[in-house]
Amino acid sequence: MKKILFLFIAASAILFASCGSDDKKEDPPVSSTQGKWEPTTIQLVKIAPLYTLDYPHTESCPKDYLEFTAASSAVFFRHETANCTVTEYANAFQQSGNNVSLNVLGYQINGTITAQTETSMEIQSDISAYIPIIKAQFPEYEQYLSLLEGGTVKLSFVKK
């Protein structure tokens, strides 16, 4: 189980994913998306929540964040290494209503915003969206992927 949790920590540090659906929700207001959004927690759900962990920001560095540059897109700022090098991922997040599309390291991940207020946002994705990038970035964990089948990942953000 620890290997699976490490897999999620490592994958989520690289990824922002969102998937799922909720046809009953209205489109989130565009004005509430503007600004900087900091990822706070990652939750693995399979029937019931299995595990919630803090988002793995690089220790002693500014926290990673999404900065919305337009009504429906954002740049992701990732602080890496001991000297806090910033890597910018342009077009990392595209939003159309509740639907979200992410381009992470060349992998397309689609999903849904499941909850949003002026100060918090929750994005849910099917774990299957992560499989290609996990296989490429963390091949040693490929044997554990079948255990996660049918699960979802819930990523929570707060507005900075």
Each residue's pLDDT tens digit, 78-102: 898 889 999 888 888 888 888 988 7
What is the distance between the alpha carbons of residues 97 and 57, in angstroms, rounded to a whole number?
Answer: 28
Task: State the chain's maximal CA–CA distance in angstroms.
Answer: 45
Prediction pTM value? 0.71
Phi, psi torsion values for 72, nearest 5 degrees: -130, 10
Residue for token pair 């806090």: 84
Q: In which domain, by residue range, is 59 found?
A: 2-159
Of residues 19 and 90, more confidence is placed in 90
- pLDDT tens by residue, 20-52: 344 444 444 444 578 899 999 988 888 777 778
113-133 burial code (b ≥16 CB/10 A, e <16):
bbebeeeebbbbbbbebbbeb
Output the domain CATH number for residue 81.
2.40.128.280
Residue type, 79: H
Token pair of 26, please? Answer: 């209205």
Rounded mean pLDDT, 46-72: 83
Closest CA to 20 of 53, 43, 50: 43
Give me the amino acid identity at 55: Y
How many domains does the structure of the chain reveal? Answer: 1
pLDDT tens for each residue of 101-160: 876 656 777 889 999 999 999 989 898 887 887 788 778 877 877 887 888 888 899 998
The residues near 110 (Cβ < 8 Å, ≥ 6 apart) are 18, 19, 99, 100, 101, 102, 129
